[in-house]
């Protein structure tokens, strides 16, 4: 009955057709990601934990975003600093982990939206 992860598709608000496949991240999963991104060093013979923010975000994106469709370049301009002046703004940016990581690093709004979606268990219940 219990499953380690569950995926849903959500539409990004204000961007019709831009749908993102996200996976629920439980508290345990988030702790595991944090642990993998934390390194213990010693200063003055005392252990000090240091979180590698870049590694944490990379693992977080890999665990939470499973794909997307419909991310038109005109939408991308609203999310992150890009130059699409010589591109067809109706064409779509394909999903790659690198593209997802770039969006998470470059767009506070996208980061917030994803974080809200993947930690809200209500989004993943059948009764929704």
Asked if the structure places residue 125 within a domain, the reply is no
10-52 pLDDT, tens digit each: 999 999 999 999 998 888 888 999 999 999 989 888 999 999 9
Q: Which two tokens stand for residue 120?
A: 């809200």
Find the domain containing 54 and state its range: 7-117
76-86 pLDDT, tens digit each: 999 998 888 88
Asked if the structure places residue 76 within a domain, the reply is yes
Q: Which of 58, 67, 69 is nearest to 104 (CA)?
A: 58
**Cα–Cα distance list, 64 to 27, 33, 60, 89 (Å):** 13, 11, 6, 27
Distance CA 26, CA 121 (A): 8
pLDDT at residue 102, as a whole number: 94
Number of structural domains (the chain) is 1
Residue 124 pLDDT more than 90? no
């Amino acid at each position: 009955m219990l499953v380690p992860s569950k995926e849903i598709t959500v539409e990004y608000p204000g961007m019709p057709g831009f749908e993102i496949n996200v996976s629920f991240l439980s508290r345990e999963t988030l702790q595991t990601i944090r642990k993998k991104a934390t390194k213990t060093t010693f200063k003055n013979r005392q252990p000090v934990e240091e979180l590698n923010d870049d590694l944490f975000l990379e693992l977080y994106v890999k665990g939470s975003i499973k794909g997307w469709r419909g991310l038109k370049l005109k939408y991308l301009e609203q999310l992150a600093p890009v130059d699409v002046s010589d591109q067809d703004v109706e064409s779509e940016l394909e999903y790659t982990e690198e593209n997802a990581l770039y969006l998470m690093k470059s767009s506070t709004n996208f980061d917030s939206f994803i974080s809200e979606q993947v930690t809200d268990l209500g989004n993943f219940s059948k009764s929704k």
